[in-house]
Amino acid sequence: MNAEAFAKKTGFKTVCIPSPDKEVEGVYIGDLLSWVMGKAEQGNVWITIMSNINTVAVATLADTSCILLAEGVMPDENALEAAKTKGVNILSTPLSAYEAAMKISELLR
């Protein structure tokens, strides 16, 4: 499933989706950037509450399919701008990381 279809099916809010064709595979949850860098796999949906510009850089380098901001978090202006230019998809949801992961798990099963 690609990122665009994923956003539609989950109903997560699309903040920006400059790379709609990225394939979604699995989930990684974490807020410590180096931890994510070391553990997230290519194509993962990365669920986090960390929404600054560095989050976008990590998503770019770790090849995650999208950043999913939990707990209703929204990116700041810098981060949003960087995401658009670097082709990083950002979604947002009022759900907690756990609830969001449950929902994704049902969909990807």
Partner 1 sequence: MSDNLVFRFDVQGNDFTSAGQASVQVKKNLRQLGLDADTIRRVSIAMYEGEINMVIHAGGGVAEVIVSEDYIEIILEDRGPGIKDIDQAMQAGYSTATETIRSLGFGAGMGLPNMKKNTDSMEITSTIDVGTRIVMRVML
Q: Which two tokens stand for residue 26?
A: 């699995």
Task: Name which of 3 and 36 has its Cβ closer to partner 1.
Answer: 36
Contact assessment for residue 78 and residue 53, using Cβ atoms and an 8 Å cutoff: yes
Find the shortest distance in angstroms from Cβ 68 to partner 1: 16
Nearest to 55 by CA among 42, 39, 36, 72: 36
CB of 100 to partner 1, least distance (A): 18
Cα dihedral value 102, 27, 91, 10, nearest 10: -40
Least distance CB 78 / partner 1 (angstroms): 6
- Residue number with CB closer to partner 1 (57 or 108): 57
Partner residues linked to 45 by β-bridges? 27, 66
> Which residues would be at the binding site for partner 1 (CB under 8 A)?
31-35, 37-38, 42, 50, 52-55, 57-58, 60-63, 78, 86
Cβ closer to partner 1: 7 or 79?
Answer: 79
